[in-house]
A and B are shown apart, each in its own frame.
Chain A
Amino acid sequence: MNSNYSILIVDDEAIVRDSLSKWFREDGFVIGVADNSATALRQLQAHRWDVILLDIKMPGMDGIELQQRIIELDPNVTIIFITAHATIESAVQALKRGAFDYVTKPVDPDHLSHLIQNALKQRKLTGENIKLKESITEFFKADDIVGESPQMKKVYELIQTVASTETTVMVRGESGTGKELIARAIHSNSQRKFFPIVTVNCGALPEGILESELFGHERGAFTGAQYRRKGKLELADGGTLFLDEVGNITMKTQMDLLRVLETKQFTRVGGNDIIRVDFRVICATNKDLEKAVADGTFREDLYYRLNVFSITVPPLRERKSDIPLIANYFVKKYSQTMGKQINCISPEAMDVLVRHDWPGNVRELVNAIERAMVIGTSPALKPQDLPFQLLNLDKKKKPSSGSLAAVEKEHIELILEQNGWNISRSAEILGIDRVTLYNKIEKYGLQKPS
């Protein structure tokens, strides 16, 4: 990740050199160490360094003096001082002379990692290697979005159109249609892809908790808050904030949210510091927000701020041609993660899947496949591996002919299938003895699938 960047650590304490070099090596930096000023200067003549971490107090030439010499050798290098509490004043001196920043030992890892990232960001902006920003030419779908139907192709087109912009996007669709995946696809195709996408489930949290979840809180903000806690808004800095079920937030939080979206700044609960953040907003809802605005339960100004560009994900029943693709995709996926030798779906089982109406949409289908993969034993998933209600409902809907015998035949076949042709168990469920069941199997010419 950072293999193009190098850090030189100058400190007379071996333990500081060791633990810092180990810490940065895991980030992939090229690391150099020096235990005194003379070695540091030799290292500087031998290599080009991006960042130098410099201990202020060292025997012989101290850090401040060394800073002067370093700047003479390489005026562009980024210097960060390491100090103990006692020497903060000399650190301030160092800042005046052009050091990037200073940290006190022991340093908070979160602080240190942001400091280094900021230093590198600044080097990238000002440095000699300003490259053209990597342009995003290749569109890639988030892994789990599957579908080739015209309706889904339209959705991909919309994602592609809006991804590279900074526009706020509202994703609409019934629950289970995969709105979060759409948000992730937009994020992964945007310039922000190397920063996080942070999901806030607005529907799941009570108001007070949602507030602390979004804005974070300061130490002592309320009983039990012993430590400062960053909110989701802060975690999303640089990336994307995904507000799921945005139609469910209270009027009070709607107002707070509107203010943040307008100003991109806020304070933590119980705090005074103004925190500035930079994120893109994607939201999702399965509610009729227009009606909520008309009813006065959703703020009109927030609605217009969120509903700039909208993408509607079609329900699964309106794109049945995608069902086999989705089902097969997840069979492959689960066979890998579960390490099971199931690699396809039998035509009979597929028929059941395609005929079902899937009120729970893709999520319901994926759950059905996952369950089938857990209980299935043969290389091809069978109808009896599928959830019971799927078979029952669909069989009920489609009696092949009106005669009682036809219904009996179908019902016996179904029970046999569901019980893997276990005669005793099937007979028990049907409320007949085994001999009667054998007779009926023969009468209707039922055959155990091979």
Chain B
Amino acid sequence: MINAIYILNASTLQEQDLDRIVHTVKTIFRVPVFVKQVGLDFGSAFDGSRGQWNSTVLLSQIITNSVGDDEKLVAIVDVDLFIPVLTFVFGEAQFKGTAAIVSTHRLANQFYGLEEDKQQLLQRLEKEIVHELGHTFGLYHCRQFECVMRSSTYVGEIDLKQVFPCQDCQRLLLKNFS
């Protein structure tokens, strides 16, 4: 039984930027949601040859913030994340585990040479947070094109999906809960 979800903010976003995300996460997973400011040791995760940060290393740091197995943690960072075999990842989660991490780096329009749009950035972040948390609750990628659990490997695909899981995924979520 999960009793709380902690959003660990290690990014430059302000706490009030996350209000809507907190509300959404609470609505979807039906548990209390708290925001905590945290610091991470980015230096140990930095890979100089790639100029990026190893998300698995950061993920293992995040887990040390956990106090019990009745909670889930999702961290927000600004740095560009990778896992060794891929050029980048938007985020990473422990499948059926405790912790997840999401980066804002490639969710921002500026990264693609477009004008900054904070609202759009927050909408994308909201979906990625729900998506990675979904993995920690044991949800797989989904084929429904609007489902938040659809796999997105390109930022435009994030914009296409909704913030909510489809009915099938919601059912699975309920099952995994009890």
Contacts and interface: CB of A to CB of B under 8 A. Distances in A.
A224 B113 CA distance: 4
A19 B112 contact: no
Interface string A189-209: 000011111100000000000
Interface residues of A, number: 40
A288 interface: no
B4 interface: no
Interface stretch (B65-73, B120-128, B138-146): B138-146
Contact of B157 (A15, A108, A196, A226): A196
B153 interface: yes
A398 interface: no
Q: Tell me what chain B mostly uses at the interface: helix, strand, loop, or mixed.
A: loop
A354 interface: no
Interface in B132-165: 135, 140-145, 151, 153-154, 156-157, 160
Given A107-B86, A108-B87, A235 B156 contact: yes
A23 B50 CA distance: 20
A413 B140 CA distance: 56
Contacts of B85: 15-16, 19-20, 23, 82, 105-107
B84 A239 contact: no
B88 interface: yes
Interface stretch (A25-33, A399-407, A428-436): A25-33
A109 B89 contact: yes
A229 interface: yes
B27 interface: yes
A59 interface: no
A274 to B, nearest CB: 20
Given A16-B84, A26-B135, A230-B156, A239 B145 contact: yes
A1 interface: yes
A34 to B, nearest CB: 16
Interface in A56-108: 82, 105-108
Contacts of A217: 113
A324 to B, nearest CB: 25
Which among A110, A197, A232 has the greatest number of chain B C-beta atoms within 10 A? Answer: A110
A446 interface: no
B8 to A, nearest CB: 21
A194 B27 CA distance: 26
A4 interface: no
Contacts of A15: 84-85
Contacts, number: 93
A212 to B, nearest CB: 9
B42 interface: no
B56 A196 contact: no
Nearest to A22: B95
Nearest to B110: A224
A105 B86 CA distance: 7
A109 B145 contact: no
Nearest to A338: B27
B145 to A, nearest CB: 5
Given A196-B145, A235-B160, A112 B112 contact: no
Interface of B: 27, 50, 56, 82-89, 93, 95, 111-114, 135, 140-145, 151, 153-154, 156-157, 160
Given A23-B85, A107-B87, A108-B153, 15 more contacts: A1-B142, A1-B143, A15-B84, A106-B50, A106-B86, A108-B86, A109-B88, A110-B154, A113-B151, A113-B153, A196-B157, A196-B160, A227-B113, A235-B154, A339-B27
Interface of A: 1-2, 15-16, 19-20, 22-23, 25-28, 82, 105-110, 112-113, 193-198, 217, 222, 224-227, 229-230, 232, 235, 239, 337, 339
